[in-house]
Structure 1
Amino acid sequence: MPLLLERLWQGLLDTLLMVGVSSLLALLVGIPLAVFLVTSGRGGLFEAPRLNRLLGTIVNLFRSVPFLILMVALIPFTRLVVGTTYGVWAAVVPLTIAATPFFARIAEVSLREVDLGLIEASQAMGCRRRHIIWHVLLPEALPGIVGGFTITLVTMINSSAMAGAIGAGGLGDLAYRYGYQRFDTQVMLTVIVVLVAMVSLIQLGGDRLAGRLNKRA
């Protein structure tokens, strides 16, 4: 039991590190990407339809590839970036690349739901385009963005477990090596309980935060 708890703790830390770093990168890249997709379309604040279509195609391309296939396809790029294809940091690269377009599309939907009347009113008052983005578009869409980021985090936890099963470490590696391969039901059930608890806490926290932001809006 002490050995199982030690491995479980290490697996939890590895999973939190994978998901934490990847989600931070996805957040930092995904929001600007979503803003550009919204504002560069026809009639947008920074109209650039050709670039919008090109970027939209790239986003759709990465979203359409299953994570396991994407992870294998990115092995040369992962080795170039982090110097290895095994371990926690090797999993951060495909996790980030998979999560960023996913989150960007969800954030894009929230941004598009902002009342056009608010944007038109801001333009009529002479607000600059960047000020409209910072003070109108993003604040109004923030509850939806938080909800979308919560969904992204849950998806990333699932993907990290899959990555762990093929050498990335974390809870997925623990469940596969010490649970599945050794037919240890106790290990499998323990990992499942931990994953369910993580997802439940993240979903609860995200929902509450989104709800508070929605009340303030």
Structure 2
Amino acid sequence: MTKPGRTLLKVQGLTKRFGGLVAVNNMTFDVHEHEVLGLIGPNGSGKTTTMNLISGAFPPSDGSITMNGQRLSGLAAHQIARRGVSRTFQLVRVLPGLSLVDNVVAGAAFGYRKRWGAEAEQFARGLLERIGLGDHMHLPVGSLTYIDQKRLELARALAGEPEVLLLDEWLAGLNPTELQEGIDLIAELRREGRTIILVEHVMDAIRSLCDRCVVMNSGAKIAEGTPRDVLSDPEVIRAYLGDE
């Protein structure tokens, strides 16, 4: 495992209400530099809502999110991207009207480093090569396989050169061969020392990729620790499997 560094991102008392529904309830956790943090829990536990709060898709009802000591909560999504947070989505979001290269250039132009023009295009081509799409650059986006669309979305997120990368069920929907390719790709990113928050249901990925896990159920944190510790926690087992 990569040795974690300083505290990079702090989530404190984070709460999100939708009318009478409390989707995220008083969540508090830290993310350390160079760490892969798994955000896990059964369906409907509030994981994606938490990612949406961190990335600025939703404003929090209460609580705060800070990165490098600067407040992110309350900023618009594009402002948070400029400060170094990039993400992928639970349902793949690519730009079908643009080429593969221009999809990635969009991430570079609106991300942390603000690359433009020929520099951004060269950078985008290098990222597509790196994630295994080098031979597909000439193809229309609509002809890509599902995993290649996921690769493209990941390349666009990486093009923003984020300090924190949010991966929301990036491995979902892949066949066994694609799943192993996806785990290997994320493992390569963690070897580079990237800071990643990973929402995932694939426990083999959680065990092999994550330094720590935060477990959610019904919007609240019920456990935090190493994958081995939290996955053997009786309360976590009950959340996934029920009292039986």
User: TM-score w.r.t. structure 1 length?
Assistant: 0.27
User: Which one has the bigger helix percentage?
Assistant: 1
User: Which one has the bigger strand percentage?
Assistant: 2
Which is higher, the Rg of structure 1 or of structure 2?
A: 1
